[in-house]
Amino acid sequence: MPAVSKGDGMRGLAVFISDIRNCKSKEAEIKRINKELANIRSKFKGDKALDGYSKKKYVCKLLFIFLLGHDIDFGHMEAVNLLSSNKYTEKQIGYLFISVLVNSNSELIRLINNAIKNDLSSRNPTFMCLALHCIANVGSREMAEAFAGEIPRILVAGDTMDSVKQSAALCLLRLYKASPDLVLMGEWTSRVVHLLNDQHMGVVTAAISLITCLSSKNPDEFKTCVSLAVSRLSRIVSSASTDLQDYTYYFVPAPWLSCKLLRLLQCYPPPEDGAVKGRLVECLETILNKAQEPPKSKKVQHSNAKNAILFEAISLIIHYDSEPNLLVRACNQLGQFLQHRETNLRYLALESMCTLASSEFSHEAVKTHIETVINALKTERDVSVRQRAADLLYAMCDRSNAKQIVAEMLSYLETADYSIREEMVLKVAILAEKYAVDYSWYVDTILNLIRIAGDYVSEEVWYRVIQIVINRDDVQGYAAKTVFEALQAPACHENMVKVGGYILGEFGNLIAGDPRSSPLVQFNLLHSKFHLCSVPTRALLLSAYIKFINLFPETKATIQEVLRSDSQIRNSDVELQQRAVEYLKLSSIASTDVLATVLEEMPPFPERESSILAKLKKKKGPGAVSVELEDGKERGELNGGGDRGGDAAIAASNASTPSPSADLLGLRSTAPASGATPSAGSLLVDVFSEAGPSATSAGVNDDGFLRFVCKNNGVLFENQLLQIGIKSEYRQNLGRMYLFYGNKTSVQFVSFNTTVSCPGELFRSTKTVEPLVEGGAQVQQVINIECLTDFIDAPLLNIKFRYGGALQNISLKLPVTINKFFQPTEMAAADFFQRWKQLSQPQQEAQKIFKASHGMDTEVLKAKLLGLGTALLENVDPNPENYVCAGVIQTKAQQVGCLLRLEPNAQAQMYRLTLRSSKDTVSQRVCDLLAEQF
Amino acid sequence: MIKAILIFNNHGKPRLSKFYEHYSEDTEQQIIRETFHLVSKRDENVCNFLEGGMLIGGSENKLIYRHYATLYFVFCVDSSESGLGILDLIQVFVETLDKCFENVCELDLIFHVDKVHNILAEMVMGGMVLETNMNEIITQVDAQNKMEKSEAGIAGAPARAVSAVKNMNLPEMPRNINIGDISIKVPNLPSFK
């Protein structure tokens, strides 16, 4: 007898479904559905009370409509009413509707909870199961509050029916997952663990899920489950295929439960008790032995079930990683599966081997399968399997086989599925770097990568190759030569042009001796790609050109010609135009010495964790990358964004040697170069070494704010979605601040809106930004600031936007501080002391004694004091350890002269800071700000 | 944990969707579509596993599926589940449907969505497996049907009589007959809506 006879059921429902199925078009279907919805609505609203059957019929129709993808916004109340019916059919359909359609509508939940409470206390097992199902399906906090105390009691009560126990166990698990704080196991723990011994296999099946979850959260409290699980497993494994009757599945005794038991054991280290451990090892051996026995059935279900247990046993062996004998057997077994005709087994074997490869006992054993795995990568028809093969190659790679594996992965890339190319590229890049013995191989590999799969090479990858080339002088000549050759290809990828532009700009001189790659040939080659490139690449090329002028004076005329052409100097893109103009001027005004200083070779990058690894980790989720990583350092930018390459490069040389050319570049218009030095330098320091405060929580950024007291540029804020960079310049009592909002996601931000609120002492004008920020794009906002009189509170920046529907709201303090309006004042020692004495009234002085929170390095201190904006006066203080500074704060209302003295005490690691100025509030404020900086 | 169970036909029409984690209605529909696109473009005879679509958590989750005649049965699970175990579970589910509906076909799923949900509820609860023994599941479903029929009152009487007669001569319910390589029979119908 079929359990569901087809004749009965609801005729009205069948007719409706048939109607829908006969609809010829989507429009007709929607029309029919709307008609039905109207009908049901009127029936529900009508005066006549509906009988249970009709309610059930209509609710069923609503369910069907919902399945077709239409919103259902009514009927909930009727469903709740059905819950309190005494008829099973009505109650059941009510619960079904609620479990499919209700999530956590709080008003209804209260009514639903009432019905559930009645059913739980009904002692009717069917009703109890329905109620427990409903709790497990909705699992809201209100439900946990109402029932978390009741359900453990049902679970362990002696007179509870088995089917109810099963439901209660999983219901409790659901509540625990949703609201762990509300589910207090305490007194129930041991009785729950003992459910592993229950007579009824169904109860054990359900309970083991609960126990596994609880054990993984509180391993100590549930430790006793290990020995119980081992003995249960042992009984199953050693049973004959008929012992367990209905739980034998295609001649395999209780496969599901065996798998779950083996999973539970993976929450714990190997058992310490020798007897338990012996029994477990015996089980594992039996399972491995059974794999070699002839199958009891030819049905695929039989081998499936058997292998399900086998794979879990292997996982456990790998998890323990302590029994060399078992590990070898596991590895051999997986090796067999690698060549099995069942695709599923090949897939799972590759997956398991990935974890095995990280075990020190079996890494070598895994490596013996390299040919098979490479073959799988090349010949498998199924992309899922090829992907696992690539994962495994990555996991088994070490110094001995890196060249082979990288070569195979590269050749696979040429035909790889689009869906996995980006990941493959990252993996190749990481392996190439990690196992590079000679860096020429590394450079070859990455350039090949760009040639083969340029579109999938992310910025991190090509930034990284440049970082490495710059830091290793033994490879620079080779890199220049190789990149020069790669650029000869008639069509080469834009990423190749970027790398080429950068490397030739820095190291083109190393290959210029060869007439085939003379400076002009190099330049013409680069310039032949110029017109095909996007704006950021062109900007980078322009920077390369100015470096060429420095490296090869003979190219000056040609390059100036190019820069002077209308397509550069009148380019509609502001960035390109500005670069063309500035570089042209720089090349014509500056002397060769100056030029050489400005365009000095890039200093080496600080050694740090590869940003590519971080990217792969982000892509694959934690755990997928086996190498330990520091968190957060995801932005391995070379230049604070490739498009600003030239500026940063030049800023870097400014930092090392202040030169009059700083003016030309308009980086800082206040005259003294000393003021510009630390700030320009710290732009680099900030971008390179700190990578900004990554993933700062929203809220007001006191921390970020203070970092900008002594510098003007850097990353003000960064979280998962948004990065805000800042560049600012000040002259007298005026300031201009550029904010760069970078969308780090691939999704656009909508309703992007920023507001700046200033204290009364400041005046500001702001241009509004466009309300749309595309994924990956950066928008700029300019804020003009005028200091009317001295002030304490910083302006507040509030940013609002929608990302994927969710409103984001970020408030930041803008780093505008009173010291930004300092004008440095040089003066002789006598002058200084005279003025110091003049400012001798107590309120004119502010003093702080504080502990050093950073190192007391002289150069760093000097840089910070210069960054403050004052002039650092040498040979003034009789004690050479001390620092004195002087400056005038320019506000619209008045000028405030300000003198500073900083006395470090290296032994005590303390400072004494004294400020004197003609205005008490200024002394206090500057003192407070500066005290946070050391 | 099982995150979702989806059944759709060769054209992507959903026949059953059960999510054990909360998604908005729109997202649920998008997940069904995305999953259909991922699964349907795969050849026969490739493996039954693939990484989940972006919407349902990407590579954190696996899609494990079987294709029977006109229907795809797709389970989306996290890494705590055994892949082959879930394949067996799908098989148990389909065999159970086959017993309950007597040669189950797509139409049974369409016209008896509520029953299919009930059967599934006997196997999986809140994303975890409740019972894997087919006979146990069928016993529960049978018990529910009996209650249903008794509640149908007079109208249900003839059906009960018929089933009583049908069962009379059988000492035991035959089990394990004609399952194994189950294929859902499909009536010769035009394309399904």
Q: Return the pLDDT at A77.
A: 83
Q: Return the pLDDT at A619.
A: 64
**pLDDT per residue over A382-425, tens digit each?**
888 998 999 999 999 998 999 999 999 998 988 888 878 888 88
Q: How many CB pairs under 8 A join A and B?
A: 204
- Residue whose tokens read 């497996």: B129
A759 touches chain B (CB under 8 A): no
Who has greater pLDDT, A842 or A266?
A266
Where residue B74 falls among pLDDT bands split at 50, 70, 90?
Answer: very high
Cβ–Cβ gap B151/A381 under 8 Å = no
Name residue A810's beta-bridge partners. A799
Where residue A537 falls among pLDDT bands split at 50, 70, 90?
Answer: very high
B22 touches chain A (CB under 8 A): yes
* Highest mean pLDDT: which range of A13-27, A603-617, B66-80: B66-80
In the numeric block, which tokens belong to residue A858?
């002289």
Mark which residues 859-918 of A lie under 8 Å from B by CB. none
What Cα–Cα distance (Å) separates residue A672 from each residue in A534, A559, A683, A917?
Answer: 37, 31, 18, 22
Q: Phi and psi (nearest 5°) for A917?
A: -150, 170
State mean pLDDT over A794-814. Answer: 82
State whether residue A204 is helix, strand or coil: helix
For residue B88, give the nearest of A89, A201, A256 by CB distance. Answer: A256
CA–CA gap between residue A563 and residue A538 (Å, rounded): 12
Residue A654 has pLDDT above 60, yes or no: no
State mean pLDDT over A210-231. Answer: 92
Residue A788 has pLDDT above 90, yes or no: no
Where residue A858 falls among pLDDT bands split at 50, 70, 90?
Answer: confident
Who has greater pLDDT, A918 or B166?
A918
Q: Return the pLDDT at A245.
A: 72
CA–CA gap between residue A173 and residue A180 (Å, rounded): 9
A249 touches chain B (CB under 8 A): yes
Where residue B75 falls among pLDDT bands split at 50, 70, 90?
Answer: very high
Q: Is A11 annotated as a binding residue?
A: yes
Cβ–Cβ gap A137/B126 under 8 Å = yes
Q: Return the pLDDT at B184.
A: 55
Number of H helices, E strands in chain A: 41, 16
Please report, rounded to a whole number, the percentage of residues in chain A having pLDDT higher than 90.
26
CA distance B130 to chain A (A): 5
Who has greater pLDDT, A526 or B190?
A526
Q: Which chain A residues are closer than 8 Å to B148 by Cβ?
A: 88-89
Q: Phi and psi (nearest 5°) for A79?
A: -65, -40
For residue B84, give the nearest of A21, A166, A344 by CB distance. Answer: A344
For residue B60, give the nearest of A170, A202, A621 by CB distance. Answer: A621
What Cα–Cα distance (Å) separates residue A461 from each residue in A295, A498, B11?
Answer: 50, 12, 41
- Poorest-confidence range of A124-133, A512-521, A604-613? A604-613
DSSP string over A220-231: TTTTTHHHHHHH
State mean pLDDT over A746-750. Answer: 81
**pLDDT per residue over A879-899, tens digit each?**
888 888 888 888 888 888 888
> How big is chain A by its Cα radius of gyration, in Å?
36
Q: Return the pLDDT at A7.
A: 43
* Residue from A1, A4, A215, A383 whose CB has the most chain B CBs within 10 Å, to mutate: A4
Where residue A684 falls among pLDDT bands split at 50, 70, 90?
Answer: very low
Where residue A279 falls among pLDDT bands split at 50, 70, 90?
Answer: very high
Single out the residue of A540, A505, A498 nearest to residue A523, CA to CA. A505
Single-letter residue type at A650 = I
Residue A692 has pLDDT above 60, yes or no: no
In the numeric block, which tokens belong to residue A609?
């964790």
CA–CA gap between residue A213 and residue A219 (Å, rounded): 10
Residue B37 has pLDDT above 90, yes or no: yes
Single out the residue of A713, A711, A719, A712 nearest to residue A693, CA to CA. A719
CATH 3.30.420.10 is right for the domain spanning B2-141: no
Mark which residues 306-325 of A lie under 8 Å from B by CB. 307-308, 311-312
Q: Is A848 annotated as a binding residue?
A: no
Name, in order, each residue with C-beta under 8 angstroms of A576's C-beta and a sequence gap of 6 or more: A535, A538, A539, A542, A568
A33 touches chain B (CB under 8 A): no
Please report, rounded to a whole number, the percentage of residues in chain A having pLDDT higher than 70.
88
Cβ–Cβ gap A249/B132 under 8 Å = yes
**What pTM was computed for the model?**
0.65
CA distance A573 to chain B (A): 37
Cβ–Cβ gap A4/B115 under 8 Å = yes
> How big is chain B by its Cα radius of gyration, in Å?
18
What is the C-alpha end-to-end distance of chain B, expressed in Å?
31
For residue B125, give the nearest of A66, A133, A381 by CB distance. Answer: A133
- Give me the sign of the Cα torsion angle A415, A419, A420, A422: positive
Single out the residue of B131, B92, B83, B84 nearest to residue A306, CA to CA. B84
**pLDDT per residue over B117-163, tens digit each?**
999 999 999 899 999 999 999 998 888 888 888 876 544 444 444 44
Mean predicted lDDT score pLDDT of chain B? 80
Residue A806 has pLDDT above 90, yes or no: no
Residue B183 has pLDDT above 80, yes or no: no
B83 touches chain A (CB under 8 A): yes
B185 touches chain A (CB under 8 A): no
Q: Return the pLDDT at A526.
A: 92
Residue A1 has pLDDT above 80, yes or no: no
Q: Is A61 annotated as a binding residue?
A: yes
Give A899: exposed, middle or buried? Use CB within 10 Å, 0-12, 13-18, 19+.
buried
Cβ–Cβ gap A3/B138 under 8 Å = yes
Mean predicted lDDT score pLDDT of chain A? 82
Cβ–Cβ gap B126/A173 under 8 Å = yes
Q: Which chain B residues are closer than 8 Å to A170 by Cβ?
A: 125-126, 128, 130
Buried/exposed code over A355-394 (b: 16+ C-beta within 10 A; e: otherwise): bbbebebbeebbeebbebbbebbeebebbbbbbbbbbbbb
Q: Return the pLDDT at A522.
A: 92
DSSP string over A816-832: --GGGGEEE----HHHH
Where residue A103 falls among pLDDT bands split at 50, 70, 90?
Answer: low
Where residue A665 falls among pLDDT bands split at 50, 70, 90?
Answer: very low
Mark which residues 803-832 of A lie under 8 Å from B by CB. none
Q: Return the pLDDT at A603.
A: 82
B41 touches chain A (CB under 8 A): no
CA distance A166 to chain B (A): 6
Q: Is A43 annotated as a binding residue?
A: yes
Q: Phi and psi (nearest 5°) for A800?
A: -130, 140
Q: Which chain B residues are closer than 8 Å to A5 by Cβ?
A: 159, 163
Residue A14 has pLDDT above 80, yes or no: yes
